[in-house]
Structure 1
Amino acid sequence: MKKLTLKEEEIMDILWDNGPMFIREMLAFYKEPKPHYNTVATLVKLLVEKGFVCYRPLGNTYQYEAKITRKQYHGSALSDIISQYYDNSYTKVVSQFIEDQKMDLEELKKLISEIENNRKQ
C-alpha cells in the first residue's frame, strides 16, 4: 500500500472521523488559515488516484469517502516498518521495546494473554 503525505493523512483523518462528505464540508474541519478549495480538491483527487478514496456523483458535485479504514492503513504502515527494519520479525520488534524499556513485564504478559485468547477463537 502506498504511503500518505501529512496533508493527505489530514484529509483521510477528516473522512475517517466524519464519514462521506463534499470538499466544501471538509474545509470546515481545517483551522485558520484554511487551505484554498482547489488545494483540498487536488489532494482529494490524488487520494482517489492512489486508491484511498472513492466518490459518487451527486448533482453537479461529488461526495468523497475513505475506501480503507484507519486501522487498515495503520496496519499496513506498521507491516512496512517491520519488514524494512526488523526482517519481518514481530519478535524482534517486541524485543526492541523490552530492551528500550518501553514495555514492561505486565504489558508483555497482557500481550501473551491476548495472543492466547485469539488462538482459542
Structure 2
Amino acid sequence: MKINHLTAAEENFMKLFWKLNSFYLKDIMEQHPEPKPHQNTVSTYLKILVEKGYLSTTKEGRIFKYSVLVPIEEYKRFLLKELSHHFFNDSGKEVLELLLSEKLITQDDLKGYFDLKIEIKPVKNEAPTFEYAEEILNPKKEKKKGKDKDKEKKKKKKKD
C-alpha cells in the first residue's frame, strides 16, 4: 500500500482518528479539543483522507462510519524513511548518530533495545615517535655513521 503525505492539519485529525480507530462524524465533533472546527471542515478532511487511503467508509443508513486503514506505526515508518531519504542519504547510521548527539536516545537505550554489549572505550594512542627530533637532537650519532662510511669509502679507493 502506497502511503501519501499528509498536511499538518490532516495529521492532527489523524492523531484523533488513530485514537478512535472507528467512528462517526458526531464522535469526532465530541472528541475534538477546543476550539472545535466546523462540521463542514471536518467533513472535508474526512473526504480528503478517504481519497488518500487513510480512512475507509461504510454507509449505515443515512450516515457514514469511518475506519482507519493506515495504522499509526505504518505512518511513523513512512515518515522515518522519508526523513532518512531526504536528509540523511538513506543512512540509518547518520540518523542514529544525530539521535545520540542530540541526546534523544542513550547508549543504555540501545543496549536494552538490541540486547547488545556495546562499550565505547577511549582510543589508546601509541606514544608518538620523534624520529626527526632524534636526528636533530642527537647529531653526533648520525655524524659518526657518516664518518665511518666515508672512511670505508676511502679505504676501498686506496685498495683499488
For the criterion TM > 0.5, the same-fold answer is: yes
CA-atom RMSD in angstroms: 1.7
- Cα offset, 1:33, TM superposition: 2.9
Q: Is the 8 A contact 2:16 2:32 kept in 1?
A: no
| Regions of 4+ moved over 4 Å | none
- 1:88 matched to 2:90: yes
1:11-90 aligned within 5 A: 11-90=13-92
For the residue of structure 2 that corresponds to 1:2, the secondary structure is coil
Within the candidate set 105, 113, 116, 2:115 is matched to 113
Match for residue 137 of structure 2?
none
Q: Where does the alignment leave 5 or more consecutive residues of structure 1 unmatched? A: 115-121
Partners of 2:31 and 2:78 lie apart in 1 by 26
When normalised by structure 2's length, the TM-score is: 0.65
Partners of 1:46 and 1:64 lie apart in 2 by 12
- Cα displacement string for residues 67-108 of structure 1 (whole angstroms, at most 9, x for unaligned residues): 110111111011100111111111111122233344332123
When normalised by structure 1's length, the TM-score is: 0.83
Using CA pairs below 8 Å that are at least 6 residues apart, which structure has the higher relative contact order? Answer: 1
Percent identity over the alignment is: 25
Count of matched residue pairs: 114
For the residue of structure 2 that corresponds to 1:40, the secondary structure is helix
Structure with bigger gyration radius: 2
